[in-house]
Amino acid sequence: MRENSFRRIIQNFIMNMEAIPNTLTPESRFALTEPCVFLRISMIRADFYESPRRFEKTQLQQYLMYNAGDVDESNEFIMEKNTRVGTKVVYHVFGLIDEEPWTDEEKERIDVLLKMLFVFNGRSRLMISNYNLTFYDHDMQVYNLKFYFKTIAELIEQRLITQYTAMYINLKHFSAVNLQLGRKKGSEVMNSFVTHIARVAGEGGIVARIGGDNFAILCKQERTDAVMEALAGTAIPYDEVTGERILISAYAGVYVIDGEIPVNSPDGVMDRILVAIAAAKARTKHDYAFFNAEMLERNNQHLLIGSLFPSALENEEFLVYYQPKVSIDTYKIVGAEALCRWKHEGKLVPPAEFIPVLERGMDICKLDFYMLDHVCRDIRRWLDEGKNAVKVSVNLSRRHLSDMDLLQHIVEIIDRNDVPHDYIEIELTETTTDVEFKDLRRVLSGLQETGISTSVDDFGVGYSSLTLIKDLPWDVMKIDRSLLPEENNFDRKKEVMLKYVVGMASEIGLECVAEGVETKEQEALLKTTSCNIIQGFYFDKPLPINEFETRLDNYSYKKE
């Protein structure tokens, strides 16, 4: 009779456990009640271990699966089971106090119960493991992007999304934190900061890691200000002994989802916080930016430009305009800078509208090579027609520096057009990072060996100018307009700085070109220095090729 009762109890136990996705929950304790009462069990504890061989030293987790109190520790039944994934579980079963020890028959039944429990535990842990692998970051105790998207999708479906604020954050200067504290300690600091942000986000809020030091946040709108205050700067302890702390802050792209601009997908939310974080990083006054309709319009314009670019390049809609470089000794053209203009549907698109968009990806590199090729075609034609061909500088984006074959690509374009190397100058803006500096040195040295001139653009704007001039093999220095005194605004400091910069460049053998020259006073000042080549509106704006060609032969810019 008791045997039939036990079979029925086990069948009920199996049915109840089948309906429970996670055995480590109160529901499983309820399912265990009937068999545990039947078998006079007071407590079941499961200890999970990392390794079957060394399990005494490598306990992972301990779960109290059933507890009715009145534990008799002298009456204990132990079962050890190895899992298929190389871990070990040890079940500890205790009898009720003031009860007789278990009979052999009861021990057999407890053994059956534990074997069934082991099967359900394995299934449950596998489900938990799969959940963690799917929705948690592997390196930090935070959610991943998949969970972030899943949560947003659920909120959209429930029509609750307009109660939330979404953010994209990038930790500021975290590479410096890793250098200061070491990567291991830096990771601990990052984890502490993100955990703090998750606490500030409060109930219903989540923090998800996108990758590296980039995270996405979702919080109730009433928690927005508190989260942003924490992002503006939070002191994170990194040494328990000394109590030393480090200030961590972040750039933030913020989207208060108010329903004014409808959003119907997680991708839509992500697109908007990406637009906002880009705006935040471009600003100098604040480290955050709120998404708005104007940003959406600008982003749509960027997407349009990106979609039009391939056909525009193929159809040669991009034109080369030449801005003359004029000698103030002879007032003749001694060179030119090639500048890009886009003629689309009969109208010129200002460079400020498309160049920054192309620089966000690798399209700018395609445009640069296109420009170099067209400049070489023009030079070759000038030479063939017997015109007074001059050296032309062509701008290259810093994006090219990751191209290990950049030198070969440049030389191939020039040689394919049969242009002597001394007619081309490659113009690069300043660069400050160590990685780019190494790549820049490699490219400049290679160009110098092939007889192609190089110029550093915008000298005087960045903070690394002197290092660049000292350590890299430039041929030409372009003096930025910021060093030139403005009209009707005499500035003694600028005048002194200009003279010393030009004098230094001349002493180390660099040719100087002053760009952005707009007034007679600026020209007069430059005449007192060793900088005798001028580029700017004072002489000429960037010109279409036909106008530039008319100035190549015997044209004088001398003014009365």
- Residue 491 and residue 534 in one domain: yes
Report the residue count for the chain. Answer: 560
| Strand-by-strand arrangement of the 41-49 sheet | 59-67, 41-49, 88-96, 71-82
Distance CA 134, CA 143 (A): 9
Q: Which pLDDT value is given to residue 418?
A: 96
Q: Which pLDDT value is given to residue 26?
A: 67
Ranges assigned E (strand) in 69-160: 71-82, 88-96, 143-144
Q: At residue 465, does pLDDT exceed 70?
A: no
* Strand-pair partners of 254: 167, 290
Distance CA 145, CA 152 (A): 11
Q: At residue 467, does pLDDT exceed 70?
A: no
72-81, 199-208, 285-294 — which is least confidently predicted?
Answer: 285-294
Distance CA 447, CA 188 (A): 45
- Residue 126 and residue 150 in one domain: no
Distance CA 30, CA 27 (A): 5
| Strand-by-strand arrangement of the 164-171 sheet | 143-144, 206-211, 214-220, 164-171, 250-256, 288-290
Distance CA 165, CA 178 (A): 30
Q: Which pLDDT value is given to residue 433?
A: 45
- Residue 406 and residue 544 in one domain: yes
- Residue 125 and residue 263 in one domain: no
Distance CA 427, CA 338 (A): 10
Q: 129 versus 528: which is more confidently predicted?
A: 528
- Residue 386 and residue 495 in one domain: yes
- Residue 179 and residue 328 in one domain: no
Q: Which pLDDT value is given to residue 24?
A: 59
- Residue 280 and residue 180 in one domain: yes
Q: Which domain holds residue 240?
A: 143-291
Dihedral, CA atoms, 471, 473, 478, 484, nearest 10 degrees?
30
Which amino acid appears at position 108 of this protein? E
Q: Which pLDDT value is given to residue 316?
A: 95
Q: How confident is the model at residue 51 (pLDDT cuts 50, 70, 90)?
A: low
21-30, 217-226, 252-261 — which is least confidently predicted?
Answer: 21-30
Q: How confident is the model at residue 458 (pLDDT cuts 50, 70, 90)?
A: low
Distance CA 262, CA 161 (A): 10
- Whole-Å CA distances, 213 to 113, 189, 250, 483, 531: 48, 11, 9, 37, 46
Q: Which pLDDT value is given to residue 411?
A: 95
Distance CA 62, CA 440 (A): 56
Q: Which pLDDT value is given to residue 340?
A: 95
User: Is residue 169 classed as helix, strand or coil in its secondary structure?
Assistant: strand
33-42, 93-102, 429-438 — which is least confidently predicted?
Answer: 429-438
Q: Which of 85, 117, 135 is the last residue of a domain?
A: 135
Selection from 18-27, 287-296, 514-523 with the highest mean pLDDT = 514-523
Q: Which pLDDT value is given to residue 275?
A: 87
- Whole-Å CA distances, 529 to 169, 190, 308, 500: 48, 52, 46, 9
Q: Which pLDDT value is given to residue 133?
A: 60
Selection from 32-36, 412-416, 480-484 with the highest mean pLDDT = 412-416
User: Helix crossing, 183-201 with 224-232: angle to 10°?
Assistant: 160
Q: At residue 55, does pLDDT exceed 50?
A: no
- Residue 206 and residue 186 in one domain: yes
Q: Which of 135, 165, 184 is the last residue of a domain?
A: 135
3-state SS of the chain: helix, strand, coil percent to 5? 50, 25, 30
Mean pLDDT computed over 407-417: 95
Residue 559 maps to a domain: no
- Residue 70 and residue 200 in one domain: no
Q: How confident is the model at residue 216 (pLDDT cuts 50, 70, 90)?
A: very high
Mean pLDDT computed over 257-284: 84
Q: Which pLDDT value is given to residue 464?
A: 46
Q: Which pLDDT value is given to residue 181?
A: 85
Residue 299 maps to a domain: no
φ/ψ of residue 67, rounded to 5: -150, 115
Q: Which pLDDT value is given to residue 544?
A: 95
φ/ψ of residue 501, rounded to 5: -65, -45
Question: Looking at residue 233, what DSSP letter applies?
Answer: -
Mean pLDDT computed over 401-411: 89
Which amino acid appears at position 516 of this protein? G
Residue 558 maps to a domain: no
Mean pLDDT computed over 134-159: 83
Q: How confident is the model at residue 492 (pLDDT cuts 50, 70, 90)?
A: confident
Mean pLDDT computed over 83-97: 81
Q: At residue 132, does pLDDT exceed 80?
A: no
> Where are the alpha helices (H) located in 136-248, listed in sequence order?
145-157, 174-181, 183-201, 224-232
Distance CA 109, CA 10 (A): 10
Gyration radius of the chain over CA positions? 36
User: Is residue 340 classed as helix, strand or coil in its secondary structure?
Assistant: strand
Q: At residue 341, does pLDDT exceed 70?
A: yes
> Is the Cβ–Cβ distance between 311 and 530 less than 8 Å?
no
> Where are the alpha helices (H) located in 360-491, listed in sequence order?
363-384, 406-416, 434-449, 465-471
Q: Which of 117, 135, 153 is the last residue of a domain?
A: 135
Question: Looking at residue 385, what DSSP letter applies?
Answer: T
The first and second tokens of residue 40, run together, are: 């006079």
Mean pLDDT computed over 264-286: 85
Q: How confident is the model at residue 92 (pLDDT cuts 50, 70, 90)?
A: very high
Residue 308 maps to a domain: no
| Residue 282 belongs to domain with CATH number | 3.30.70.270
| Residue 381 belongs to domain with CATH number | 3.20.20.450
- Summarised one tens digit per residue, pLDDT across range 534-545 is 999 999 999 999
How many secondary structure helices (H) and strands (E) does the chain include? 17, 21
Distance CA 287, CA 230 (A): 13
Q: Residue-wise over 442-468: b if at least 16 C-beta within 10 A, else e?
A: ebbeebeeeebbbbbbbbbeeeebeeb
Q: Which pLDDT value is given to residue 336?
A: 95
Residue 302 maps to a domain: no
Distance CA 256, CA 221 (A): 7
244-253, 482-491, 521-530 — which is least confidently predicted?
Answer: 482-491
Q: How confident is the model at residue 232 (pLDDT cuts 50, 70, 90)?
A: very high
Q: Which pLDDT value is given to residue 57?
A: 45
Distance CA 20, CA 13 (A): 11
| Residue 111 belongs to domain with CATH number | 3.30.450
Which amino acid appears at position 75 of this protein? N
Residue 301 maps to a domain: no
Residue 560 maps to a domain: no
Residue 305 maps to a domain: no
Q: How many domains does the chain have?
A: 3
182-191, 285-294, 458-467 — which is least confidently predicted?
Answer: 458-467
- Residue 272 and residue 188 in one domain: yes
Q: At residue 116, does pLDDT exceed 50?
A: yes
55-59, 202-206, 375-379 — which is least confidently predicted?
Answer: 55-59
- Residue 385 and residue 268 in one domain: no
- Residue 100 and residue 151 in one domain: no
